[in-house]
Amino acid sequence: MASPDRDLPKRSDKTVLDAEKDGKGPGHSTVSILRNSEGILHSQQRKLVLHLDLNNTILLSDAITGQGPKAALNSYLSTVMWGKLSPTGEWETLSEVPSVLSPSEGAINFYTQFGRSDDFTNTSMGQRFKNIHSDHLHMLEWTYPPDKVFTLSEDGKSYHWILPSFFHLLKTLHLQGRHFSVVLRTFGTDLPKVLHALQCAVDGRHPQFPDFQMMSLPIDPTPGQIQCSKQEVVLTHGAECFSTKTDETNVYKYFSSMEGIRGFRDHFDWWVKNAFSSKGGKPFWIDPHDPSVQHIFIDDNIRLNEGDCIVQTKVCMEGNPCQTIGVSELYNVCLVQTDLLRAISEKDYFLECIRICEERYTDYINNFKPAVQTLT
């Protein structure tokens, strides 16, 4: 099982990027490998397919609930404060700092006990995180000329709508020569606007990333849809339609062959029908027998608790039915629970998540013995 560490380890100073002897030098990862301090080689020749949530992962807002940056950040902070109820029914705080993982056995986060709070840091229990809230909002303040595409305004201030660390991720992967694609996955309604903003960025209109214009990154402006039932998963995108009914790996093959950036609205009502558990979550496939590609899903609602997780992971089994696998088997291997505070404060946050996942996935596929979990 992968270690579910809250803070992903930092790159060792001894880690270097070696290129094949083709004269291209570092950064051309289609012919390069990572060599760590122990001399173990980690291939980066696999295509990278990134499945990314929107709200509280690359956006600090929620169109459905109407939350702006302040409320969205408050709501997120209520999910990373931990405590428990005392024998007399009083809330006892168990964490002095925000954490995506439980600090101790038996701890529950604030939102599980009381629900998400869009005014969390103004409550007596959330007040200790007030400075964290204000500091991270300040980091997202827009310092460029007014722009309605890339910003949200609230209380007289403008904020980055799409996190700069996401744009930095795209730029860096491009400069490294990586073969990658991005699948935006959401239950919300923001996809058309997000896809438009990304196209504007690639057209060179983002003042912080003007060199995006050099990127040959196709962006499809039309969102697709993923519908789930007990019998099948159906993906539609324009005239394209793929079902798992005839071949359970159809959607996996579609995502694996996809180029550029596309967006899909997942089946929220199906998640509700399954009590917000992973059983009804966003379907996600991996194939440890396919060495050419790695899929990674990053979402703030990926949690080790299957009853409160937004992704259902299936493993392709070479001619046999796909098998559902528990979150713990792939946590920080193919499944990443977004640390929104780090995504705001660290420009390399998403890159670091990917680096760790790629290294661990190499070990995973070399020692593939799935601990299959049937979710009921």
Instruction: Give the tens place of pLDDT for each residue, 205-235.
Output: 999 999 887 788 899 999 999 999 999 999 9
DSSP class of residue 87? T
* Residue ranges of domains in the chain: 45-61+161-366, 69-139
d(CA 358, CA 44): 8
d(CA 355, CA 155): 38
Q: Is the dihedral of CA 116, 58, 223, 302 positive or negative?
A: negative
Q: What is the pLDDT of residue 14?
A: 32
Of 14-23, 67-76, 267-276, 287-296, minimum mean pLDDT range = 14-23
Strands 180-186 and 282-286: unpaired
Q: What is the pLDDT of residue 45?
A: 80
Q: What does pLDDT average to over the chain?
A: 87
> What average pLDDT does range 336-354 have in this prediction?
98
* Stronger pLDDT, 86 or 17, i.e. the higher one: 86
Q: What is the pLDDT of residue 44?
A: 62
Q: Are 302 and 296 in contact (CB under 8 A)?
A: no
Strands 16-19 and 240-243: unpaired
> Residue 15: pLDDT above 90?
no
Q: What is the pLDDT of residue 65?
A: 85
In angstroms, how far is the first alpha carbon of the chain from the final one? Answer: 21
CA-to-CA separations, 240 to 222, 237, 243, 245, in angstroms, rounded:
12, 5, 10, 15
* Stronger pLDDT, 1 or 156, i.e. the higher one: 156
Instruction: Give the tens place of pLDDT for each residue, 46-95.
Output: 999 999 999 999 999 988 888 999 999 999 999 999 999 999 988 999 98
